[in-house]
Amino acid sequence: MKTDRGQLIDVFTGSPWEVELVKSLLQAANVQTLVSDKGEMSISVPQESYSTAVKILSSRI
């Protein structure tokens, strides 16, 4: 999937409540997110935000 900002990269997969928690952490840091449910819920971020998202998640989770 592509956006106007480039490619999207999955950064987290989990239960609905876990996804909402992680989404709120990323959005608080001004990282755009896209939640998808393809059997499992996952969060994707634009490619240019990937390293920021990973830093946020690795320090919080």
Report the pLDDT value the prediction gives residue 49, as an integer from 0 to 100: 96
Report the pLDDT value the prediction gives residue 61, as an integer from 0 to 100: 61
Does residue 33 contact residue 45 with C-beta atoms inside 8 Å?
Answer: yes
Report the pLDDT value the prediction gives residue 4, as an integer from 0 to 100: 55
**Amino acid letter at 43?**
I
Quickly tell me which residue has 């840091």 as its tokens. Answer: 29
Does residue 45 contact residue 53 with C-beta atoms inside 8 Å?
Answer: yes
Structure-block tokens of residue 48: 């240019």
What is the block-wise mean pLDDT of the chain (61 residues), using blocks of 10 residues?
70 95 96 93 96 91 61
Report the pLDDT value the prediction gives residue 38, as an integer from 0 to 100: 83
Quickly tell me which residue has 């987290």 as its tokens. Answer: 12
**What residue ranges define each of the domains in the chain, with the CATH number in brackets?**
2-60 (3.30.70.1530)
